A and B are shown apart, each in its own frame.
Chain A
């Protein structure tokens, strides 16, 4: 159990050390909350006020169950805004909180220096709160069902908000911006629905940089909390507790990839070769794919026991792959947030009225089990007409589509 006073003392201890080491955090607002609140916060992806949707409730139930059975625990959440917000579980012990503060400061430093986050919404808390209010108004005006089904459908395309380097960006201008394109050109939706799509697009653009820098972000924070905790002399009892938290963070549940473990090893490798300046440069410029490309060497692969696993043969252990194979596979896994590259075929779409999307095939096929349902939602609720995806399956080009009633899957 920590109080603001304890936390304040801890921050006074850690902050100077972090600043001395080169971290630069601006203003950080710490907020002490209960364990259950942090589950709620995590199910809202860290943002305290979100629009009402059942999917958040579903995540909450799942997180809460995991927490109740002690399967997982969330110690903190950091929001990339100005000032930065950090939510900390008040039931942490002072020693745990010390590590958490160091971890938080490194996250904030990452958010404020990485090029990926240069254009994210600084006042995201206010933005999502406004969206929540707006959507509540729409629910009152147009009915809960209409708003819910709209969000259900929009979330299908929300994974594809386009390149986010350009800040807000004009909706639909970038071919990767599926949601923006639909919001701009769909003939099947009303003005308020267009507005909702743009709101969801803005939120998903806020999250996109986090999605492509999970390993980097966590690795960087873990790298720093390890370093800072080593520097700060503290008693043996505290040290023991800190080591215990650190170990639980780095615990590997095979064959899942632990971004804390892998990320910190990658940053360690960079530090060994190029010193702190290399670490800061990596923070500034690299997303996950870039980080792996730069820093994954034989040592890291062996330390982290990386291997290539296949979903099919779950029982067998990983085929021992050589470094080049692991590297190529890992880059593919983390590239583009682990999502397929999709592009709107804008000219075709505007000519024919059929929403046509091109999947940039890279050897991985789309999930044809989910696709009919996903496309049906888009066709029925968003586009109001046929939707096509041009992809490759079993080596041959195919056009999969849905016109609202019927699922089609033809060779092209």
Chain B
């Protein structure tokens, strides 16, 4: 046959922009799936350890394209080995699509999305905020604002500032006593210059109190540390200027820096009142109520010294009155009954209590404490 012919194009009529829309939609679905997995994500162990690994894998069951197919787990199939060598690796023949030259398709569907910690934090913290934040407290808060801070020789007419202008004029005349100049020369004029300054409102302090007594097992410590890890991440991101104070206690309480707070081992007994007293002292000395929104969170296994219970409840109640929110979290790995402290705080006003039994509860606790919206949020009604 002699009908053979060919033609050649530059490819300019084939621009595959629409695939980016599809990719965007896929990314969006990944985000949705991550959101659906938030509780698991938050309890992910190697995040909380914060060992520098900033990439996490999120399982995405929603994004698997389910098909009616053979069970590959039990199946056997024909594979190839390199001539002379023994084959290794997983079985399963994979073939590129027909008409595709070069490269072999990646083998199995791995339905994991690798996302960075920053992305994960964005998604986790999207809905969270400090509850009952009073913007009227004047100390370094979250926002920034334009404020007239200094004077500039140029500016808008409306920002003319008279007193420095006159001073400049006097200065000029004083420097050249004999000369008769105009009362106001062009160089005398001064104008307000607006600078971005940290807003002095909505200031807040968060007290992170953790039980490091010997009764805190691996699981309890892990849960408490996870909660505080996310709390700190969340505050640093959404409220970069909020101050965080770390308090660790066993029978005695002490203020520690962040590093040792998260790396602390555990020993000794538990006297919760000690840390409440220290918290009150610190609040009184450094964070007065008229300038700060004050939050306090205490995580413990509930194994408080029995003789201390009454005192702890008393001081804890005071602490609850002194703060916007006093959160008391109790961690149990078994189904034992909540401690007397828990019972007492549950009844008292201004205290938010949570009971954490599973890893997923970390996220529940975060959501519970940091629901920004609405002042009608009743923190005493949680079981």
Stretch at the interface among B8-16, B208-216, B286-294: B8-16
Residues of the B chain whose Cβ atoms lie less than 8 Å from the Cβ of A40: 16, 19
Nearest neighbor of B110 in chain A, beta-carbon distance:
A62
Give the complex CA separation of A371 and B81 in angstroms. Answer: 32
Picked from A46, A340, A373, the residue with its CB within 8 Å of the CB of B97 is A46
Assembly CA distance A44 to B17 (angstroms): 12
Q: Verify A254–B85 contact, CB threshold 8 A.
A: yes
Assess whether B22 is interfacial by the CB under 8 Å rule: yes
Q: Which residues of B contact A338 (CB under 8 A)?
A: 70
Interface string of B13-43 (1 = CB under 8 A from A): 0111011111111111100000000000000
Could you tell me if A54 and B22 are in contact, using CB atoms closer than 8 angstroms? yes
Contact segment of A72-80, A186-194, A236-244, A270-278: A72-80
Q: Which of B127-165 contact A (CB under 8 A)?
A: none
A107 to B102, CA, bound (A): 14
A74 CA to B70 CA, complexed, in Å: 28
> Beyond A56-B19, A221-B101, A329-B77, is A255–B68 a contact (Cβ under 8 Å)?
no
- The stretch of B58-66, B261-269, B322-330, B369-377 in contact with A is B58-66
Which one of A33, A54, A303 contacts B25 once the chains associate, using CB atoms below 8 Å? A54
**B365 at interface, CB cutoff 8 A:** no
Neighbour of A53 across the interface among B8, B22, B24, CB < 8 A: B22
- Interface positions, chain A 146-184, Cβ under 8 Å from B, are 155-157, 159-160
| Interface contact tally, CB-CB below 8 A | 307
In the complex the two chains form, is B22's CB within 8 Å of A57's CB? yes
6 closest residue pairs by CB, A with B? A72-B103, A255-B79, A57-B22, A309-B91, A257-B93, A40-B16
Q: Are B11 and A255 in contact (CB under 8 A)?
A: no
Measured between beta carbons, the chain B residues less than 8 angstroms from A62 are 106
Q: How far is the CA of A191 from the CA of B208 in the complex (A)?
A: 60
Additional A-B contacts beyond A304-B80, A340-B69 (18; CB < 8 A)? A15-B4, A29-B8, A29-B9, A31-B11, A32-B8, A32-B11, A48-B16, A58-B63, A72-B103, A107-B99, A252-B80, A307-B78, A307-B79, A309-B87, A310-B76, A311-B90, A340-B70, A364-B75
A329 touches B76 (CB 8 A): yes
Q: Which residues of A contact B15 (CB under 8 A)?
A: 37
Give the chain B neighbours of A160 by CB distance below 8 A.
68
Judge whether B76 and A311 touch: CB under 8 Å.
yes
Whether a CB of chain B sits under 8 angstroms from the CB of A355 is no
Residues of B within 8 A of A78 (CB): 99
Q: Is A121 an interface residue (CB 8 A)?
A: no
Is the CB of A215 closer than 8 A to any CB of chain B? yes
Q: Counting CB contacts under 8 A, is B82 at the interface? A: yes
Q: Is B180 an interface residue (CB 8 A)?
A: no
Q: A77 — which chain B residues lie within 8 A by C-beta?
A: 99-101
Q: Identify the A interface with B (CB < 8 A).
A: 4, 7-8, 11, 15, 19, 24-34, 37, 40-46, 48-50, 52-58, 60-62, 66, 71-80, 83, 87, 90, 100, 103, 107, 155-157, 159-160, 210-211, 213-215, 217-218, 221, 248-249, 252-259, 261-262, 303-312, 314-315, 317-318, 326, 329-330, 333, 338-340, 342, 364-371, 373-375, 377, 389
- What are 5 contact pairs spanning A and B, CB under 8 A? A72-B102, A257-B93, A311-B72, A318-B86, A365-B70
Checking A43, A217, A256, A326 against B19 with a beta-carbon cut-off of 8 angstroms, the contacting residue is A43
The answer to the question of B74 belonging to the interface, with a C-beta cut-off of 8 Å to chain A, is: yes
B52 beta carbon closer than 8 Å to chain A: no
A169 CA / B206 CA spacing, docked (Å): 70
Query: Whole-angstrom distance from the CB of A144 to the nearest CB of chain B?
Result: 9
Tell me if B106 and A32 are in contact (CB < 8 A). Answer: no
Residues of B within 8 A of A44 (CB): 16, 19
Provide the bound-state CA to CA distance between A218 and B81, in Å.
Answer: 19
Given known contacts A4-B10, A46-B97, A340-B68, A306 and B79 CB-to-CB distance under 8 angstroms: yes
A255 touches B91 (CB 8 A): yes
Report chain A residues within 8 Å CB of B21. Answer: 52, 57
A252 touches B75 (CB 8 A): no
- B29, B68, B70: the one contacting A364 at CB < 8 Å is B70
Whole-angstrom distance between the alpha carbons of A31 and B11 in the complex?
5
A217 x B99 contact (CB < 8 A): yes
Whether the pair A218, B96 counts as a contact (CB closer than 8 A) is yes
Q: Which chain A positions have C-beta within 8 A of B4?
A: 15, 19, 24-27
Bound together, the chains give a CA A7 to CA B63 distance in angstroms of: 41
Q: Which residues of B contact A87 (CB under 8 A)?
A: 11, 14
Contact status A371-B10, CB under 8 Å: no
- Measured between alpha carbons, how far is A103 from B100 in the docked complex, in Å? 10
What is the CB-to-nearest-CB distance from A112 to chain B, in angstroms, rounded to a whole number? 11
Q: Which residue of B lies closest to A19 (CB)?
A: B4
Contacts of B96 in A (CB 8 A): 214, 218, 259
Q: What residues of chain B lie closer than 8 Å to A83, measured between beta carbons? A: 7
Query: B305 near A: Cβ within 8 Å?
Result: no
* Smallest CB separation, A2 vs chain B (Å): 10
Cβ-defined contact, B70 with A32, below 8 A: no
Highest count of chain A CB atoms <10 Å: which of B8, B10, B18, B107 = B8
Known: A62-B106, A100-B101. A57 touches B81 (CB 8 A): no
The residue in chain B whose Cβ has the minimal distance to the Cβ of A213 is: B98
Residues of B with C-beta under 8 A to A312: 73-74
CA distance A29 to B5 in the complex (A): 9
B-side contacts of A46, CB under 8 Å: 97, 99-100
Q: How far is the CA of A215 from the CA of B96 in the complex (A)?
A: 10
Which residue of chain B has its CB nearest to the CB of A328? B78
Residues of A within 8 A of B97 (CB): 42, 45-46, 210, 214
Binary flags per residue of B93-119, CB closer than 8 Å to A gives 1, else 0: 111111111111111000000000000
Let me know if B88 is at the binding interface, CB within 8 A.
yes
User: How far is A210 from B105 in the complex, measured between Cα atoms in Å?
Assistant: 16
Known: A32-B9, A57-B26. A74 touches B18 (CB 8 A): no
- B74's partner among A27, A50, A306, A365 (CB-CB below 8 A) is A365
Taken together as a complex, chains A and B put the C-alpha atoms of A173 and B359 apart, in Å, by 53
Determine the distance from Cα of A309 to Cα of B103 in the docked complex, in whole angstroms: 22
Complex: how many Å from CA A48 to CA B16?
7
Residues of A within 8 A of B11 (CB): 31-34, 37, 87, 90
A61 x B23 contact (CB < 8 A):
yes
Q: Does B67 contact A (CB under 8 A)?
A: yes
Residues of A within 8 A of B25 (CB): 52-54, 57
CB neighbours (8 Å) of A75 from chain B are: 101-102
A255 touches B81 (CB 8 A): yes
